[in-house]
Amino acid sequence: MILRRDAKVKLISRVPLFEGCSARELAQVAAIAQQVEVPEGKVLIREGEPGNDFYAVVEGSVEVRRQKRRIATLTVGDFVGEIALLTNAPRTATVRSSSPVSALRMTRQGFSTLLDASPSMREKVLKALADRLAPNAL
């Protein structure tokens, strides 16, 4: 299933990192998101490695493991890797497709270019990131 732009926008609007963004800004984010097809058993994200990609699941499911222990199964509408769009922090878990998966993929480079062109969007996204990380701060 190929997602239309409005379906991409709807899926992206559910990501907390983008909660303060306008419909126009969400459309800009959707424009840089590429739909990818992933076969069953493929690792999308590996624990401990630097993060460069964000994924939102369109179809199928992925399994999330931390230190080889399953901690979650994600399905349609779920997402992983959003913090990697803004930081160089190492991945905190491994994510592997548990079925064939269709997903939206966004790279840190593409997202950075978008934020450079839109300071107001950068401000909204950084605020959302700070709000998300604040409960874990000292």
Please tell me the predicted confidence (pLDDT) of residue 44: 96
Q: Is pLDDT of 138 > 60?
A: no
Q: Is pLDDT of 132 > 80?
A: no
Q: For residue range 103-124, list pLDDT tens digits in order.
A: 999 999 998 999 999 999 999 9
Q: Is pLDDT of 1 > 90?
A: no
Please tell me the predicted confidence (pLDDT) of residue 137: 55
CB 9 within 8 A of CB 21: no
Q: For residue range 30-89, list pLDDT tens digits in order.
A: 999 999 999 999 999 999 999 899 999 999 999 999 998 999 999 998 989 888 878 888
Q: Is pLDDT of 14 > 70?
A: yes
Q: Is pLDDT of 135 > 70?
A: no
Beta bridge partners of 63: 73, 96
Q: Tokens 């969007």 map to which residue?
A: 121
Query: Which contacts of 111-114 are long-range, i.e. CB under 8 A and separated by 24 or more positions?
Result: 111/29, 111/32, 111/54, 111/85, 111/86, 112/85, 113/32, 114/28, 114/29, 114/32
Q: Domain tally for the chain?
A: 1
Between 84 and 135, residue with greater pLDDT? 84
E strand or H helix at 128: helix 119-133
CATH code for the domain of 113: 2.60.120.10
Q: Which range marks the domain in which residue 48 is found?
A: 5-136
